[in-house]
Amino acid sequence: MFEVHYQGGLGDFYCYMFSPHFTNHSIRRHILLALADPSLIVFHIYSDNPASMEIFTGLGLQCIPHKFSEYKFDTMDPHSILNNKYIFLHPYTSTPIKMWPGATDGTLEKIIDCLIDEFGYYVFLWGRNIPALYFGKDTPVSLEEHCSHKRNMLFNATLEQESSTALNMLSSIYCSDRMICLDSAAMMARGINPDQKVFSLFPDYYREVPDLFTHYYYKGLDGEPNKSVYYNEFTLDILREWMKKEENS
């Protein structure tokens, strides 16, 4: 569970949450996360205006009130949470012929450990087993989207099926400044967070698709700051190079 600390009057909180001048304020990311799962975050609010609290309690969020004068910037810096880096990881597909072998051969777990241990990222691993009709088949197909990996700094939604709602997914994408995904899932994430850096994996047979990266799904994914590779090209070293380059940019 995160505990985050914010101070201000009612006007300050209104601007933090709704003004276009504060679109990247960390409080917005935390509210989205907490709306997906209220147990994830406790908000400590330092304000002399009770209405500041009501914004949070009215949304059903966990909130602890404090007097404005009790806030000590040197020990509780509300901006320190901005140092946390998030990456959205969606290595699954609903299309059988596009399945990535790395999702089940142990590569996925190595990616997660690399992102956390080597680069200090919090990882949102998202996936759900949802039966769906595949190109007009009469019987719905449900591909397994499951990873048993558990560790600190990993939110594994494949182990939390009941909480893996659309809101959970959308908030996770919004909070992340990077994404690793398969195929057209990149378009979905970029539509929610256009500034997101995307590392995309494509089935090997996509090499034969003419002008792939001119398609609106994939446009720009083959150029910096994004990175695209085919399944049989992927290595952890390629991922590391992309992460390090972007970390230093």
Query: Cis link prior to 225 (omega < 30° from 0)?
Result: yes
Domain boundary among 65, 81, 97: 81
Residues 243 and 193 occupy one common structural domain: yes
The angle formed by the CA atoms of residues 200, 121 and 83, to the nearest 5 degrees, is: 125
The reported pLDDT for the residue numbered 81 is 42
Taking alpha carbons only, the member of 190, 203, 202, 89 closest to residue 145 is: 89
The reported pLDDT for the residue numbered 64 is 92
Q: Where in the sequence is the domain holding 99, given as residue range(s)?
A: 84-247
Report d(CA 13, CA 3) in Å as an integer: 17
Report d(CA 77, CA 71) in Å as an integer: 9
A 10 A CB-CB count for 139 gives 7
SS3 229: strand
Residues 212 and 226 occupy one common structural domain: yes
Q: Strands, E, within 72-219: which ranges?
A: 85-90, 121-125, 154-156, 178-182, 197-202
The reported pLDDT for the residue numbered 97 is 83
The reported pLDDT for the residue numbered 55 is 84
Residues 70 and 158 occupy one common structural domain: no
Report d(CA 121, CA 112) in Å as an integer: 9
The reported pLDDT for the residue numbered 191 is 59
The domain total for the chain is: 2
Residues 141 and 41 occupy one common structural domain: no
Residues 128 and 219 occupy one common structural domain: yes
* β-strands 2-7, 41-46 pairing: parallel
Prediction pTM value? 0.67
Domain boundary among 49, 81, 113: 81
Report d(CA 50, CA 4) in Å as an integer: 18
Residues 74 and 96 occupy one common structural domain: no
* CATH at 133: 3.40.50
The reported pLDDT for the residue numbered 236 is 97
Report d(CA 63, CA 45) in Å as an integer: 7
Residues 29 and 90 occupy one common structural domain: no
Residues 141 and 191 occupy one common structural domain: yes
The 3 state secondary structure assigned to 43-97 is: EEEECCCHHHHHHHHCCCCEEEEECHHHCCCCCCCHHHHHHCEEEEEECCCCCHH
Residues 39 and 100 occupy one common structural domain: no
Residues 40 and 75 occupy one common structural domain: yes
Residues 77 and 125 occupy one common structural domain: no
Whether 227 contacts 246, CB under 8 Å: no
Query: Which residues, in sequence order, are CB contacts of 53 under 8 Å at separation 6+?
Result: 45, 47, 63, 65
Domain boundary among 15, 47, 81: 81
Residues 37 and 129 occupy one common structural domain: no
**Per-residue pLDDT tens listing for the chain (249 residues):** 678 888 888 888 887 887 777 766 778 878 888 887 788 888 999 888 888 888 888 888 999 999 888 876 443 344 444 457 888 899 988 778 888 999 999 999 999 999 999 999 988 888 877 666 566 667 777 777 889 999 888 888 888 654 555 656 666 776 778 899 998 777 665 656 667 789 999 999 999 988 888 887 788 888 888 899 999 999 999 999 999 986 665
Whether 39 contacts 79, CB under 8 Å: no
Whether 31 contacts 59, CB under 8 Å: yes
CA 200 vs CA 49, 141, 153, 197, 234: distances in Å: 46, 24, 22, 10, 10
